[in-house]
Structure 1
Amino acid sequence: MKTAGQWLDEYGASHQNPTNKLIHWFCVPVIYFTVAAFLYAIPMPFAEKSLFINWSAFVMVLVAIYYLRLNLALGVLMAAFSFGCLWLSHWLDLHAAFPLWQIAAALFVLAWIAQFIGHHIEGKKPSFLKDLQFLMIGPAWVFGFLLRKVGVSL
């Protein structure tokens, strides 16, 4: 199994252009949030939707396990970000003027368009075309950068 550092370095190899990196710094967390929001918006059978009883929370537990297996510090940071996405989904579901799934859909499409523009600028294909696991590594790459900046080895 590759280490977190190996995954992040391989992902980073196709994200060297400063413009593409900046686009990814914003769009990858947005896309991650939209997936959490889409999952939150799916009704759970036999349960009233709440902050902790929803499809997003269920999937986020599995995602946290994945990241924790890669690296403890990265896993904790990603779990915290996941909870933030879950909380924001819950809040928007209760208070937004539009249905959560519509907000998520708009953000999802815009963020992916921006990502493909970034890859066009970079001149490299998105990493997930090589290995679908890079869809999970993208969010970790953003937070892994922060961890490395404060001296945490991945």
Structure 2
Amino acid sequence: MSVSAFDVRKQLAFYGAYHSNATNILIHVVFVPVIIWTSKVLIADIPVPSFVPAVHYTFSDYLAFDLNWSAIFAAIYLAYYYILEPTAAALYTPQWVLSTLTAAAFTRADNHVQIACVVNGLSWIAQFVGHGVAEGRAPALLDNLLGAVVLAPFFVHLEILFTLGFRPEMHKQLKNDVGVELARIKKIEGDKKRAAQRKVT
């Protein structure tokens, strides 16, 4: 990520500029959590280094904890969100923890990899349809893969909070920031098209 990785306004302005269409935002609100959950299921099977202690605890058939890559990445993501916006991150923590615990429990199922792969793939297709049809432009991950993948869950969470009235002044500022960023991106894209046309002629 860029030097502004810990500036919540700059990070969300970047991501928001690729998600200004209401339909595309709704698609993300539905499918980003699904992508995150299925990704937690899939990376849970990746072996961790030998120095990582083996911790496995089952609360119920639907809630479990394993100290694996899924839990490690979940902790890193959440720590980053606390740096960006502590209050919003605190409100997000219960959902994030529940997602991690249910994903760990689901890995106990024999066919968890196949199911997670199918659901994850369909969710990504929905995302690309949202960008191609509703937004009319390429997704953010094509310009900043790491930033887009890390920011997506928090962006969706904040969109829901803003709809419920969370920090209206911050929401207003971000809308302005997104407008400026969107204009900058469109200018760059326009300059590239004009340069390509000049080469052809």
TM-score in terms of structure 1 length? 0.84
Partner in structure 1 of residue 101 of structure 2: 87
Deviation at 1:89, TM superposition (A): 1.1
1:9 counterpart = 2:5: no
Greater relative contact order (Cα 8 A, min sep 6): structure 1 or 2? 1
The code of the aligned residue for 1:131 comes to: N
The code of the aligned residue for 1:34 comes to: T
Instruction: Tell me how many residue pairs correspond in the alignment.
Output: 152
Q: 1:68 to 1:17 in 2, by over 3 A?
A: same
Partner in structure 2 of residue 129 of structure 1: 142
The structure with the largest alpha-carbon Rg is 2
% identical aligned pairs: 31
The code of the aligned residue for 1:20 comes to: N
Superposed, 1:11-30 pairs within 5 Å as 11-30=15-34
User: Tell me, what secondary structure is at the counterpart of 2:141?
Assistant: helix
Partner in structure 2 of residue 151 of structure 1: 166
Deviates more, 1:20-29 or 1:142-151: 142-151
Please, which runs of 5 or more residues in structure 2 have no aligned partner?
58-64, 172-201
The code of the aligned residue for 1:114 comes to: A
CA distance in 2, matches of 1:92, 1:63: 21
Aligned-pair RMSD on alpha carbons? 2.2
TM-score in terms of structure 2 length? 0.66
The match for 1:119 among 131, 135, 146 is 131
CA distance in 2, matches of 1:48, 1:80: 21
Q: 2:66 touches 2:104 (CA, 8 Å); kept in 1?
A: no
The match for 1:102 among 107, 110, 114 is 114
Deviates more, 1:15-24 or 1:74-83: 74-83
Deviation at 1:113, TM superposition (A): 0.6
Please, which runs of 5 or more residues in structure 1 have no aligned partner?
none
Deviation at 1:91, TM superposition (A): 2.6
